[in-house]
Chain A
Amino acid sequence: MSLRIVVTVKYVPDATGDRHFADDLTVDRDDVDGLLSELDEYAVEQALQISENSDDDVEITVLTVGPEDAKDALRKALSMGADKAIHVEDDDLHGTDAIGTSLVLAKAIEKAGFDLVVSGMASTDGTAGIVPALLAERLGVPQVTLLSEVSVEDGVVKGRRDGDTASEQLEASLPAVVSVTDQSGEARYPSFKGIMAAKKKPVEAWDLSDLEIETDEVGLEGAWTAVDSAAERPARTAGTIVKDEGEGGKQLAEFLAGQKFI
C-alpha cells in the first residue's frame, strides 16, 4: 500500500523581527526576513514520524502558497526529510484571506493526490488556526485537528486532542486532514546530509491557471473580509520599577492596593 501525505507549510515574517503592514494593509513581507513558520515544523516532523513508523510506501509532499521567497520554507521542510515540494505562486494571490488560501491549498492538494493532509496548529503571523478546518470542509474529509499525539495504522488516523475542558481521543478513516500542536514532539534539525539532499529534490511550481482558479476568487479583491485600518499599539507608558531592598513584596502590595486589586 502507499500513503500519500501532503504537509501544508507557510512562509512567515520572523516573529522576532519588526513586523508591520504594507500601504495596502497586507502583511509586509519585504522588510522582514521570512522563514518556515515554527508551528509548521511540528507538522513536517509528525509526517516524517508517521512515515518512519509505517510499513507502507509513504511519500511526503510539502505544499506552500506564497511569494518567490516562500521556496525557503519548502527547502527547510525538504532538508528535514520530505520527499518533494509544490510551490503555488501567482501575483494575483497578493492579499488573499484565510478562506481564499484554503481554496488554493485544497485545489493543489486534490491535484497532487492525497491520503492524509498534515498542517500545523496555526501560522505564527495570522494565528487564526482555521485553515485545517477549512481544508477538511472543502475536501469533504474528516477533520482530526489540534492533536498533541498522532498515529496512522491500517487506513485509520488516531490522535489526542487536549481541549479547554477535556482531553479527547479521536479516530477517523483516511483520507483525512490532521493538524498537530507544538506539544506533538520537538521537530528535528536538518542534518548536513539532509540539506545537501534537499537541493536535488523536485520543487514543482503551479500558478492559478494550473489549479483552474479564477483570479477574482483570490487576492485582495476576492477576499471575503476587509482590513479598514491598522495602527501600531501605543507603547505602554513607562512604569515604576523598584529594586527589592527587603520590602519589595510590601511595596508591590501597596501598588496593588492603590489600584484596588486588594
Chain B
Amino acid sequence: MAEVLVYVDHVDGAVRKPTLELLTLARRIGEPVAVALGNGAADTAATLAEHGAVKVLTHDASEYADYLVVPKVDALQAAVAAVSPAAVLVPSSAEGKEIAARLALRIKSGVLTDAVDLEAGDEGPVATQSVFAASFTTKTRVSVGTPVITVKPNSAAVEAAPAAGAVEALNVTFSDQATGTKVTARTPRESTGRPELTEAAIVVSGGRGVNGADNFAIIEALADSLGAAVGASRAAVDAGWYPHTNQVGQTGKSVSPQLYIANGISGAIQHRAGMQTSKTIVAVNKDAEAPIFDLVDYGVVGDLFDVVPQLTEEVNTRKG
C-alpha cells in the first residue's frame, strides 16, 4: 500500500489536534508515515502510533527553531526522497501552507491549500475546498507530481487506529537558503486555558455589539460555561477590544466548529468567510435585519447584555 507523508505540527513533542485529523484522512489514501521535526520530535511517536502512523521519521536540529520555514522544507523534501509517497499532507496553518508551497515547487508537484475534506480518487486524492467566503465548494486535485495538500483543522474526526509507529531517524542536509531568515526572539503566546480557536468544537464570538473591551467578559463567561474558544469580529478587533489572534474572518482565523455562537455580530462577508462552514450557527443581535440571521439555525433578536448572561446562567445550572 502506498505511503502518505503527514507533517507533524507539535509543540515540544505535544502533537496538535489537526495533525491527528490528518492521520485519519491519510489512512483513506494509504499508510501514514509521519515526519516530526525539532525539539521533542521523538516524543510525538506514541500519540502518532495510536492514530495510525506506521512510521515516524524524526530529526532534531537547532535550525528548526532558529530559522524560518526553510529548514522544515529541506527536511520534508528529504522525507519525500526517502519514502516516495503517494501524497504529502500538511496542517493548514500559516506556516504549514508556506512549507507545503515551497516543497511542492522543489519536487515539481502541484499544491492545494485549505482542503476541508479529502478522499481517494482514480487520478489521485480529491480535495474539497470551500471558496469565495464559503459560498462555493470545489473538488480539486493535483495533476502534476506528488500531491501536496494542506488541510484545515476540524476537517476530519480524530480516530484511534493503533499502528507500529516505528521511529526512524531522517537524514537531513540543510540547503544554502536554510539560514536566510533568522528568528532573533520568540515570545510564546500566553495560554488562556481555553481551546485553540481553530480546533475548538464550540466557538463563542463577540462583535461590534459587545461595545467595549471590558464587556468581552460576558462573552468569555459564556465560552467558559460551554468549554468553548472565544472569537471576535474584525470590528471588535479593529476597535482594540480583543486580540487579533482571536479574529474570525477573512483576514483572521477560519473556523469550522460544531457550534458557533455569534453575539452582536452583523455578519458581513468578511466575517462570514471565516465561520460559514460551522455545523450549527446561533446568533444574538439587536437588529432583526442583520445578515447573520440568514445563516442561523437559531437566532435571538434581543440585547446581548440580557440574553447572553441569562444563557450562561442557564448552561451552568443545567450542567449542575
Which A positions have Cβ atoms within 8 angstroms of B? Answer: 15-16, 19-21, 25, 39, 97-99, 102, 121, 124-125, 127-130, 132-134, 136-138, 140-146, 148, 158, 161-173, 176, 181-183, 223-233, 236, 239-244, 246-253, 255-257, 259, 261-262
Please give me the 4 A-B residue pairs with the lowest Cβ-Cβ distance, nearest first: A244-B302, A249-B310, A224-B110, A142-B180
C-beta contact mask, B266-294 vs A, less than 8 Å → 1, else 0? Answer: 00011001001000111010001000011
Say yes or no: B139 contacts A227, CB within 8 Å.
Answer: yes
12 A-B pairs with CB atoms under 8 Å apart are A19-B132, A124-B250, A137-B102, A166-B187, A172-B182, A176-B180, A225-B142, A229-B138, A230-B139, A236-B296, A239-B298, A249-B300
- Taking a contact as CB atoms under 8 Å apart, the answer to whether B110 and A249 are in contact is no
Q: Residues 301-314 of chain B: 1 if any A CB is under 8 Å from the residue's CB, otherwise 0?
A: 11100111111111
Known: A137-B106, A172-B180. A256 touches B136 (CB 8 A): no
Bound Cα distance A231, B137 (Å):
5
| Chain A nearest CB, measured from B36 CB (Å) | 16
- B126 an interface residue at 8 Å Cβ cutoff? yes
CA distance A97 to B181 in the complex (A): 27
CB of A171 within 8 A of CB of B184, answer: yes
Contact yes or no, B94 A163, CB < 8 A: yes
Chain B residues near A162 (CB, 8 Å)?
244-245
Whether A143 touches B314, Cβ cut-off 8 Å, given contacts A20-B136, A244-B300, is no
A residues near B309, Cβ cutoff 8 Å: 249
B11 & A226 in contact (Cβ 8 Å cutoff): no
Residues of A within 8 A of B310 (CB): 247-250
Interface of chain A: mostly helix, strand, loop or mixed: mixed
Complex Cα distance A169/B113, Å? Answer: 26
User: Which A residue sits closest to B237, measured CB to CB?
Assistant: A183
Of A165, A181, A249, the residue contacting B11 (CB under 8 A) is: A165
Q: Is the CB of B104 within 8 A of A228?
A: no
The smallest C-beta distance from B88 to any residue of chain A, in angstroms, reads 14
Asked if A257 contacts B136 (CB within 8 A), the reply is no
Question: Which residue, of A21, A98, A226, has the highest number of chain B Cβ atoms within 10 A?
Answer: A226
Q: Are B308 and A249 in contact (CB under 8 A)?
A: yes
A-B interface pairs (CB < 8 A), number: 263
Query: Which residues of the other chain, A, contact B108 by a CB distance below 8 angstroms?
Result: 224
CB pair B141 A228 closer than 8 Å = yes
A253→B296 CA distance, assembly (Å): 15
Binding site secondary structure of chain B:
mixed
A99-B111 contact given A20-B136, A172-B182, A225-B141, CB 8 Å threshold: yes
- Chain B residues lying within 8 Å of A165, measured Cβ to Cβ, are 11, 188-189
Does B259 sit at the interface, judged by CB under 8 A? Answer: yes
Q: Are A262 and B319 in contact (CB under 8 A)?
A: yes
B68 vs chain A, min Cβ distance (A): 6
Chain A's closest residue to B140 (CB) is A227
Evaluate whether A252 and B284 lie within 8 angstroms (CB atoms) in the complex, with A99-B104, A138-B105, A164-B196 already known.
yes
The verdict on A239 contacting B180 (CB below 8 Å), with A21-B136, A233-B137, A252-B311 known, is no
Can you name 19 extra interface pairs (CB under 8 A) apart from A228-B138, A236-B297, A249-B310? A15-B269, A15-B270, A20-B136, A98-B111, A125-B132, A127-B250, A129-B113, A130-B98, A136-B102, A168-B187, A181-B251, A224-B144, A224-B145, A225-B112, A225-B141, A242-B298, A249-B306, A252-B282, A252-B307
Contacts of B188 in A (CB 8 A): 165-166
A99 to B288, CA, bound (A): 45
Task: Decide: A232 and B136 in contact? CB cutoff 8 A.
Answer: yes
Are A223 and B143 in touch, CB under 8 angstroms?
yes
Report the separation of the CA atoms of residues A21 and B39 in the bound assembly, to the nearest whole angstrom. Answer: 45
Indicate if the CB atoms of A170 and B181 lie closer than 8 Å.
yes
Identity of the chain A residue whose Cβ is nearest the Cβ of B94 in the assembled complex: A146
Residues of A within 8 A of B198 (CB): 164
Q: How far is the CA of A162 from the CA of B134 in the complex (A)?
A: 25
B314:A227 contact, CB within 8 angstroms: no
Q: Contact at A121–B251, with CB atoms within 8 Å?
A: yes
B299 within 8 A of A: yes
Indicate the member of B106, B131, B282, B313 with the most A CB atoms within 10 Å.
B131
CA A202 to CA B225, docked complex, whole Å:
60
A170→B182 contact, CB < 8 A: yes
B100: interface (CB < 8 Å):
yes
